[in-house]
Amino acid sequence: MQEHFFQCPYCWETISMLIDISQSRQKYIEDCEVCCNPIQLQITTENQEITSFEAQNIEQ
């Protein structure tokens, strides 16, 4: 697991999440710890390093 800091696409606060770097591709939804809105995360890892990280709001 690796801690990764990023800005919430809703409230723009810097938050952190633990990323499982043993998985090469991940896509899931997790709520912001500040504003509680759902964030869609897309993460790619290679050689135990995060190579791509996207955090997007969920269009309703």
What are the extents of the domains in the chain? 2-57
Q: Answer for the pair 37, 19: CB distance below 8 angstroms, yes or no.
A: no
Per-run averaged pLDDT (10 residues), the chain, 60 residues:
95 94 94 96 94 88
Query: Residue 30: in which H helix or E strand, if any?
Result: strand 25-31
Q: What is residue 59's predicted lDDT score, i.e. its pLDDT?
A: 74
